[in-house]
Amino acid sequence: MSGLCHLWSAFSSGIYPVMPKRWGKTLRHIHTCRPETGVLPKTSELFTLYAKRMSKYLNEYEVSRLIDMINVIPDADTFVYGSYYSGNVFVLGDELILIDMSGISCGNPIFDLGMTYMIYVLEAEWLSKPLTGLDVQQAKIFWDLMMRSYFGTNDNSALKQYEPAVTAAAVLCSAVLPAITKLSQENTSRLVMNTRKKLITVYNTLSNVLSNVNLKEEL
């Protein structure tokens, strides 16, 4: 394949079946970068802003719970891309080119993993196709290959230990998504309803998992 194309196009065409793996390695490399202090906004501060904007849909108590979830995530000095999905990655020959730097920040890499998992798995039924060009099944395969590459293992039991933290971060990302990007009224209502349920039923579990996130040793 010659010329510039979306990563999802290269993957779905079958011409670049190794692209999800390279994509995982690229994200891992991004997460080894340490920006100078004060150059980029803190990821936790960005997400706190998103949570406050959710006051349009959630009551004060619900917003405070979202902010509490953000605050329990251990701080880190990692470069966070913010919107790492295949729709924001182009392929040019053997190179991957990232676009849309509007959400870059400095913080815990779990925010990137959570956002990506939200798109490819948690909310794939309605988010994956328009954002990545992949159907639900393709998106799950893409995510699985990416994670194996990111963590450098094919050991399923080793990969499973990261699932709770990544899933919890994805729930948090989906909770503030209406404050990040424009969604249809139907999808906004769906996310708000799901957020309300989870803040009631699994808030403590999510907070406990997020408070123990530690990916530093993996990078």
- Report the C-alpha gap between 43 and 202 in whole angstroms: 23
Residue 132 CB: number of other CB atoms within 10 A?
Answer: 25
Q: Which of 110, 104, 130 is nearest to 187 (CA)?
A: 130
Residue 73 clears pLDDT 90, i.e. is over it: yes
pLDDT bracket for residue 136 (50, 70, 90): very high
Give me the pLDDT at residue 145, please: 92
pLDDT for residue 68: 96
Of the candidates 76, 93, 95, 78, the residue with the CA atom closest to the CA atom of residue 26: 95
Domain ranges of the chain: 4-209
Which pLDDT does position 200 carry in this prediction?
82
Distance CA 64, CA 70 (A): 10
Query: SS3 of 134, please?
Result: coil
3-class DSSP state for residue 191?
A: helix
Q: Is residue 5 over pLDDT 70? A: no
User: What's the rounded Cα separation, in Å, for the pair 197 and 194?
Assistant: 5
* Least confident window among 8-17, 70-79, 138-147: 8-17
Q: What is the mean pLDDT of residues 162-188?
A: 94
The pLDDT of residue 20 is 81
Residue 55 has pLDDT above 50, yes or no: yes
- Asked if 70 and 108 touch (Cβ cutoff 8 Å), the reply is no
Q: What is the pLDDT of residue 17?
A: 56
pLDDT digits (tens, 9 = 90+) for 9-45: 666 555 455 678 888 999 999 999 999 999 999 999 9
pLDDT tens column, 102-134: 889 999 999 999 999 999 999 999 998 888 888
Of the two residues 215 and 63, the one the predictor is more confident about is: 63
Q: What angle do CA 153, 114, 94 make, to 5 degrees?
A: 55
pLDDT-above-70 percentage for the chain: 89
Position 14 scores a pLDDT of 56
Instruction: Give the architecture-level CATH label for domain 4-209.
Output: Alpha-Beta Complex (3.90)
